[in-house]
Amino acid sequence: MKKKLYLIPVFCLICLAAGAQSRDFTQGKWVEVYNSILRELNRSYVDSLPSGRVQRAGIDAMLDALDPYTVYVPQEEQEDFQMMLNSTYGGIGAIIFKPDVNGNVIINEPYANCPAAKASLQCGDEIEAIDGVSTHGLTSAESSEKMRGKPGTKVVFSVKKLRAGDGWKAGDVIQVPVMRERIVLPSIEYAGMLNGDDGYIMLSKFTDGVGQGIRDAYNSLKAQGMKRLVLDLRGNGGGIMGEAVNIVSLFVPKGSLVVSSKGRAQDSEVQYKTTSDPVDTEIPILVLVDSGSASASEIVSGALQDYDRATIVGTRTYGKGLVQSIRPLPYDGQLKVTTSKYYTPSGRCVQAIDYSHRNEDGSVGHIPDSLTHSFTTAHGRTVRDGGGITPDFEVKAKRYSRLTYSLVMNGIVEEYALQYVKAHPSIPPLDDFHFDDYEGFIAFAKDKEFDYRSSARAMFDEMRKALEQDGLTEALSDELSALEKSLDMDKEKFLRLKEEEIIPFIEEEIVVRYYFQEAGIKVRLRYDTQLQQALLQPAITY
């Protein structure tokens, strides 16, 4: 019997070695097959083989078979990749608008304290040439690419000025040299007091150093009399995990577990704990989340919920509990690869059970309780896994009509704002400004081409197509005509009907062109019904 027992570990080692050899053989087999196919295509394919495009497509298809977040980034896409990771790029700091490929580039939104604004480029100024190259014939993307470049390099614009200034008249074309800088788009888009008691921080992404930024914003708000903190993570798709840990560490005791990650290897579990003293472990915190709150946003909201340290309000979060790491590849490429899943302090995995049951925006769909597991918070409340963080209080965002979405997505509101700026050299201070020319907007919008159908009319058109495929339109002709007539609405009438929900978007687009992006956020908060309802929810206290 003892001899047989001694054989068991040896047998296990043999099996492990065989398994490793099998994996190595399988990988080697497919590499050989892949290379053989490429050689044969290069030798025999009827047309000239676009090798680079074919091989890139093969890499992308291979990674697509894994998960949506494991991607290959070649050297030529590094700038865009860094922009995605850190919200930085080399350029002049302005959003441009180019309605016509044969027209000029229009300065749409210069960023505060950035090179474009420092060089007195204003909304409505038209760029006719970039470093001597005419913008006529260039696409918006091509124009933007010419504006970007290494920080410290100079770009010269031929600019047709909208208004008179120091040494020029309105309509003059002048040469404007601009020194490019490293443009850092703010992760903390706004921090301020909502009222006498509630401090508010809007965090749009988790980039390097943002934890210290939240600490500084908190201290500033506290000095202004803040008695409750509102941390807005709506639409925040995540970022650097370490910064999520840094933010949680501000509000829980030192040494607290924030998140743990587990990969394929049995010894791969890593625990991330707070390593610094908190700034405040008692102030009430309200965290706003929605279906766009993902990854690091879910780490923060999940940890604060597990410790009963914050009240989570809004709608269920995205459901991305995967950790990506950056691996270097030959020829300066990079592989962003999923290496582990993360778990909140109570043990919940935020990752959705699968990738197939998702909503249109990619967030996790309905997961029945029978497929989830229950966990308990620090004070014994029940929370569940299965996908995303479920808020303590569900408060849905305002729903807008299809017309309003169409006006915004088709740039109608944006175009009108540019026209408004040309006609108004100035506007009242932000707190006093309210848009009062809706008739002017109607006159502008009704002549523009955009899809102004209601949701009901759009569904009717889809139904009609289905009936045509089934050969039923003739049999239902009278009924369809009556329903179509009832759903038809004149564009101008529909615009008047939706005045109340369209005006906030117009106001936001206008104010950013006079007072920069922070002013637009203040206008947005002015009409934010979800935030207003969230402020009424009771705090979780023990």
Q: Which of 225, 269, 210, 192 is CA-nearest to residue 85?
A: 210
Q: Which of 336, 345, 232 is CA-nearest to residue 292?
A: 232
Q: Residue 381: which CATH number?
A: 3.90.226.10
In the predicted model, what is the mean pLDDT of the chain? 89
CB 92 within 8 A of CB 115: yes
pLDDT digits (tens, 9 = 90+) for 387-401: 889 999 999 999 999
pLDDT digits (tens, 9 = 90+) for 23-46: 677 777 888 888 888 888 888 888
For 342, the 3-state DSSP assignment is strand
Q: Is 516 exposed, middle or buried (0-12, 13-18, 19+ CB in 10 A)?
A: middle
Q: Is 446 exposed, middle or buried (0-12, 13-18, 19+ CB in 10 A)?
A: middle
pLDDT at 346 over 80: yes
> Is 5 contained in some domain?
no
How many whole angstroms separate alpha carbon 123 and alpha carbon 117? 10
pLDDT for the residue 253: 97
Pairing of strands 333-343, 322-329: antiparallel
DSSP-assigned states of every residue in 201-247? EEE--B-TTHHHHHHHHHHHHHHTT-SEEEEE-TT---B-HHHHHHH
Task: Identify the weakest region by mean pLDDT among 90-99, 249-258, 507-516, 527-536.
Answer: 90-99
For residues 322 and 274, membership in a common domain is answered with yes
User: What is the pLDDT confidence band of residue 539, given thresholds at 50, 70 and 90?
Assistant: confident
For residues 413 and 349, membership in a common domain is answered with no
> Is 62 contained in some domain?
no
> Is 153 contained in some domain?
yes
CB 279 within 8 A of CB 219: yes
CB 287 within 8 A of CB 304: yes
Q: Which two tokens stand for residue 443?
A: 């006159």
Q: Is 477 exposed, middle or buried (0-12, 13-18, 19+ CB in 10 A)?
A: exposed
Which range of 161-165, 238-242, 505-509 scores highest in mean pLDDT? It is: 505-509
> Is 167 contained in some domain?
yes
pLDDT for the residue 381: 94
pLDDT at 228 over 80: yes
For residues 369 and 222, membership in a common domain is answered with yes
- Residue range 479-500: mean pLDDT, rounded: 90
For 64, the 3-state DSSP assignment is helix
User: What is the pLDDT confidence band of residue 166, given thresholds at 50, 70 and 90?
Assistant: confident
CB 273 within 8 A of CB 258: yes
Sign of the C-alpha dihedral computed for residues 427, 428, 433 and 437 taken in this order = negative
For residues 338 and 372, membership in a common domain is answered with yes
- Residue range 373-397: mean pLDDT, rounded: 91
pLDDT at 423 over 50: yes
For residues 305 and 245, membership in a common domain is answered with yes
Alpha helix positions (H), 149-307: 210-223, 241-248, 296-306
pLDDT for the residue 82: 66
Q: Which two tokens stand for residue 269?
A: 């579990």
Q: Which two tokens stand for residue 115?
A: 């090179």
Determine how many CB atoms are found less than 10 A away from the CB of residue 305: 28
438 lies in which domain range? Answer: 402-454+489-532
Q: Which residues pair with 229 in a beta bridge?
A: 199, 285
pLDDT for the residue 360: 65
pLDDT digits (tens, 9 = 90+) for 280-327: 999 999 999 999 999 999 999 999 999 999 999 999 999 998 888 888
> Is 415 contained in some domain?
yes
Half-sphere exposure of 309 (CA within 13 A, CB side): 22
Half-sphere exposure of 103 (CA within 13 A, CB side): 10
Task: Report the percentage of the chain scoring pLDDT > 90.
Answer: 61
Alpha helix positions (H), 65-192: 78-86, 115-118, 140-147
pLDDT for the residue 373: 84
pLDDT for the residue 1: 46
Q: Which residues pair with 193 in a beta bridge?
A: 199
For residues 222 and 338, membership in a common domain is answered with yes
Q: Which of 345, 372, 394 is the last residue of a domain?
A: 394
How many whole angstroms separate alpha carbon 9 and alpha carbon 438? 81
Sign of the C-alpha dihedral computed for residues 489, 493, 496 and 502 taken in this order = positive
pLDDT for the residue 185: 87
- Residue range 113-142: mean pLDDT, rounded: 94
Half-sphere exposure of 356 (CA within 13 A, CB side): 1
> Is 273 contained in some domain?
yes
Domain count, the chain: 3
CB 84 within 8 A of CB 96: no
For residues 202 and 267, membership in a common domain is answered with yes
How many whole angstroms separate alpha carbon 417 and alpha carbon 108? 9
Backbone angles phi, psi at 195, to 5 degrees: -160, -160
How many whole angstroms separate alpha carbon 284 and alpha carbon 303? 15
For residues 296 and 324, membership in a common domain is answered with yes
How many whole angstroms separate alpha carbon 241 and alpha carbon 246? 9
Residues labelled catalytic: 295, 306, 320
For residues 241 and 113, membership in a common domain is answered with no
Q: Which of 184, 202, 224 is the last residue of a domain?
A: 184
What is the four-CA torsion angle of 356, 358, 363, 364, rounded to 10 degrees?
-80
Q: Which of 373, 394, 415 is the last residue of a domain?
A: 394
> Is 324 contained in some domain?
yes
> Is 1 contained in some domain?
no
For residues 450 and 514, membership in a common domain is answered with yes
Q: Residue 111: which CATH number?
A: 2.30.42.10
Pairing of strands 382-384, 228-232: unpaired
For residues 218 and 261, membership in a common domain is answered with yes
Sign of the C-alpha dihedral computed for residues 218, 222, 224 and 226 taken in this order = positive
For residues 151 and 247, membership in a common domain is answered with no
